């Protein structure tokens, strides 16, 4: 209906319309002032209408907009009624009103997403309709890897707007990796002085012979992070920071060589990594490393306050793809292993993760990590991002841990979206718009009781082969629109989903993305400037990513 994406739960269409005009007022009742400010700002920009502040709901007077809390509705639930008295958006909380306001903007059409009016006479109308809507999942996430390629702050803010337009509410911010450290930490300034840039970058996937022979880097200052967290909160989005341990840490080791396994390699010779794959240079399991990262996390907790939004107690500690070669060869690591009475290096990794699990729990936080953290047992409050398929999530849910489903086989948006030869730097599985539309986050194997541990789902955007925001746009859209509908709407079983009907709504949604300036992949394939002829990807169907 009307190109609404994600599809609402219940829609009853009427026969007239509410026209917003220069007389129209907007009244935001107590508790919805923030949403009112957001809605007035975006609609003023796009329409040029003043949308003056009404003083009471009746001021909406047939051509205005009212926003109100309704305690009868659930969190994030909203009701939008457009009729002869105007448009009224009510929500169970401010987040619900905000998602309703997003729906209102969608009704106004693609030009309502522009930053300035087009200067033509036009009618801004919301059809008479009653919508009752609420999300299927509490956690509707997008992970952006700003470590492999830095995304400047304004682009991060833009992605928060794009998430909000799709009713996504968790931004997983992948801030550290072998190829870059992107967050200012005052007590360890070399993390950004040294760790935030590299001299050159592999162009293409690992096997590509090409190099981008220029420095690449960037980081967010503490005030940038505060701004991002606040901007997200205004859009009812939680930012979950990821600080990766004990693998994916070469940028940190390059900055502070004592963090590495100094009895195995000369860590002073390491630089921020300039190519891709699983890296053998991992953190040393020493007290010095623990204290260093406790210090990092103390500053991280200050920047990401637990009370900011529903999932903001979570801190992601990575925990994936930690190569054990150096720990096997390190006398220091082996001594630690014996001292702790551990069976092997896998147990040493669990010890590492459990240390920070306890440390975060003691500070009222919750640890979340990639599914490798399941090995060795976790504190009850810890949660798991299930990326190597569904299996980790199933194990975690059965063990009573909360799970975010983000299997690489389905929702890794770095993977190519078509099997044709024109896809830029194609990697991993072919996952089309339709494949993403047919993704089911809750595995059939789980009982209803176990399935309650599936907090929700997340699409992940790894940026090894995305050198700038245009490449990120291309990989992320339009598939994020299909993902948003999977995360928000109550769709039938995958085989029964009406993809043709979704595609019809997409014809309007492509115009919304155009108005927002998103460089998506057109249904007919990449535009000439979206191709990367001759740049090698990893066209091995079925192989794991990041390898
Ligand atoms: C991952 O893709 N290594 C979490």
Model pLDDT, residue 379: 78
How many Å from the N-terminal Cα to the C-terminal Cα in the chain? 42
SS3 of residue 87 by DSSP: strand
Q: Does 545 score more than 50 pLDDT?
A: no
| pLDDT tens digits, 361-375 | 999 999 999 999 998
Q: Does 61 score more than 70 pLDDT?
A: no
**b or e along 56-84 (b: 16 or more beta carbons within 10 Å of the residue's beta carbon)?**
ebebbeebbbbbbbbeebeebbbbbbbbe
Final residue belonging to a domain, choices 113, 133, 153: 133
The CA–CA distances, whole Å, from 25 to 7, 40, 48, 53, 54 equal 28, 10, 13, 6, 5
SS3 of residue 478 by DSSP: coil
What's the gap in Å between 387 CA and the centre of ligand 1? Answer: 6
Whether 248 sits among the annotated catalytic residues: the reply is yes
Q: Are residues 17 and 127 in the same domain?
A: yes
Of 321, 402, 408, 485, catalytic: 321
Whether 177 sits among the annotated catalytic residues: the reply is yes
Query: Quick check: is 536 in a domain?
Result: no
How many structural domains compose the chain?
A: 2
Q: Are residues 40 and 96 in the same domain?
A: yes
CA atoms within 13 A on the CB side of 377: 3
Of 133, 177, 244, 372, catalytic: 177
Q: Which residues pair with 405 in a beta bridge?
A: 386, 457
CB 403 within 8 A of CB 455: yes
Number of Cβ within a 10 Å radius of residue 448: 7
To which H or E segment does residue 130 belong?
strand 124-133
What's the gap in Å between 371 CA and the centre of ligand 1? Answer: 9
Q: Are residues 113 and 148 in the same domain?
A: no
Q: How far apart are CA 63 and CA 323, in angstroms?
A: 62
Q: Are residues 98 and 229 in the same domain?
A: no
For residue 304, the 8-state DSSP code is S
Ligand 1 pocket, residues with Cβ under 6 angstroms: 320-321, 370, 387, 545-546
| Token digits of residue 545 | 């990513």
More reliable by pLDDT, 148 or 539? 148
Which band of pLDDT confidence, cut at 50, 70 and 90, is reported for residue 59? low
Q: Are residues 129 and 143 in the same domain?
A: no
Query: Quick check: is 5 in a domain?
Result: no
For a ligand 1 pocket test, name from 243, 246, 405, 546 the mutation site with the most ligand atoms within 8 angstroms of its C-beta.
546
Give the rounded percent of residues in the chain with a pLDDT score beyond 70: 97
CB 11 within 8 A of CB 129: yes
Final residue belonging to a domain, choices 78, 108, 133: 133
Model pLDDT, residue 375: 85
What's the gap in Å between 248 CA and the centre of ligand 1? Answer: 10
Q: How far from chain centre, in Å, is Cα 145?
A: 9
Query: Quick check: is 61 in a domain?
Result: yes
Q: Does 378 score more than 90 pLDDT?
A: no
Model pLDDT, residue 60: 60
Q: Are residues 101 and 236 in the same domain?
A: no
Query: Could you tell me the CATH number of the domain that includes residue 104?
Result: 3.30.379.10
For residue 136, the 8-state DSSP code is S
Model pLDDT, residue 397: 97
Q: Are residues 162 and 95 in the same domain?
A: no
Q: Are residues 358 and 273 in the same domain?
A: yes
Query: Quick check: is 3 in a domain?
Result: no
Q: Which residues pair with 367 in a beta bridge?
A: 315
| pLDDT tens digits, 63-98 | 999 999 999 999 999 999 999 999 999 999 999 999
The dihedral built from the CA positions of residue 355, 359, 362 and 368, taken in this order, carries a sign that is negative
Query: Could you tell me the CATH number of the domain that includes residue 439?
Result: 3.20.20.80
| pLDDT tens digits, 498-522 | 999 999 999 999 999 999 999 999 9
- In 326-415, the DSSP E strands lie at 366-370, 383-386, 402-405
| pLDDT tens digits, 7-27 | 999 999 999 999 999 999 999
Q: Whose CA is nearest to atom 3 of ligand 1?
A: 320
Q: Are residues 176 and 118 in the same domain?
A: no
Model pLDDT, residue 309: 74
| pLDDT tens digits, 248-296 | 999 999 999 999 999 999 999 999 999 999 999 999 999 999 999 999 9
Q: How far apart are CA 199 and CA 213, in angstroms?
A: 7
Q: Which of 106, 103, 164 is nearest to 133 (CA)?
A: 103
Determine the structural domain holding residue 503 and report its residue range: 139-530
Query: Quick check: is 369 in a domain?
Result: yes
Whether 17 sits among the annotated catalytic residues: the reply is no
Query: Quick check: is 1 in a domain?
Result: no
């Amino acid at each position: 209906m009307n190109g609404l994406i994600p599809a609402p739960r219940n829609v009853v269409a009427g026969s007239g319309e509410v026209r917003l005009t220069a007389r129209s007022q907007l009244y935001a009742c107590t508790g919805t002032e923030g949403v009112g400010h957001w809605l007035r700002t975006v609609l003023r920009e796009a329409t040029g209408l003043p949308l003056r502040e009404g003083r009471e709901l009746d001021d909406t007077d047939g051509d205005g907009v009212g926003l109100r809390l309704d305690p009868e509705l659930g969190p994030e639930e909203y009701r939008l009624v457009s009729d002869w008295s105007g448009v009224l958006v009510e929500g169970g909380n401010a987040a619900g009103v905000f998602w309703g306001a997003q729906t209102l903007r969608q009704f106004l059409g693609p030009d309502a997403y522009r930053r300035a009016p087009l200067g033509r006479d036009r009618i801004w109308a919301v059809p008479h309709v009653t919508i009752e809507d609420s999300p299927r999942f509490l956690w509707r996430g997008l992970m952006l890897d700003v470590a492999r390629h830095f995304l400047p702050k304004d682009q991060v803010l833009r992605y928060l707007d794009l998430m909000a337009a799709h009713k996504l509410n968790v931004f997983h911010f992948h801030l550290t990796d072998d190829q870059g450290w992107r967050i200012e930490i005052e007590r360890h300034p070399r993390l950004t002085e040294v760790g935030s840039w590299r001299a050159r970058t592999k162009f293409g996937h690992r096997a590509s012979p090409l190099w981008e022979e220029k420095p690449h880097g960037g980081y967010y200052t503490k005030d940038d992070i505060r701004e991002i967290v606040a901007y997200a909160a205004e859009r009812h989005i939680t930012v979950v920071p990821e600080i990766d341990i004990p693998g994916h840490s070469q940028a940190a080791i390059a900055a502070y060589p004592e963090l590495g396994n100094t009895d195995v390699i000369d860590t002073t010779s390491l630089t921020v990594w300039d190519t891709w794959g699983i890296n053998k240079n991992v953190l040393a399991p020493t007290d010095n490393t623990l204290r260093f990262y406790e210090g990092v996390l103390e500053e991280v907790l200050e920047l990401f306050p637990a009370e900011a939004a529903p999932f903001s107690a979570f801190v992601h500690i990575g925990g994936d793809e930690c190569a054990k070669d150096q720990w096997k060869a390190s006398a220091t690591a082996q001594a630690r292993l014996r001292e702790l009475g551990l069976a092997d290096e896998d147990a040493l990794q669990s010890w590492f993760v459990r240390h920070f699990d306890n440390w975060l729990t003691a500070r009222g936080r919750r640890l979340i990590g990639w599914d490798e953290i399941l090995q060795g047992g976790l504190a009850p409050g810890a949660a798991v991002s299930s990326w190597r398929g569904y299996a980790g999530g199933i194990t975690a849910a059965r063990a009573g841990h909360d799970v975010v489903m983000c299997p690489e086989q389905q929702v890794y948006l770095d993977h190519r979206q078509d099997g044709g030869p024109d896809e830029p730097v194609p990697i991993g599985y072919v996952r089309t718009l339709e494949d993403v539309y047919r993704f089911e986050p809750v595995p059939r194997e789980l009982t209803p009781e176990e399935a309650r541990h599936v907090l929700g789902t997340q699409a992940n955007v790894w940026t090894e082969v995305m050198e700038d925001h245009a490449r990120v746009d291309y990989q992320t859209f339009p598939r994020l629109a299909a993902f948003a509908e999977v995360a928000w709407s109550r769709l039938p079983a995958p085989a029964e989903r009406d993809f043709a009907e979704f595609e019809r709504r997409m014809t309007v949604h492509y115009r919304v993305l155009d108005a927002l300036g998103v460089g998506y992949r057109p249904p007919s394939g990449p535009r000439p400037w979206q191709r990367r002829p001759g740049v090698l990807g990893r066209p091995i169907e079925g192989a794991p990513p990041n390898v």
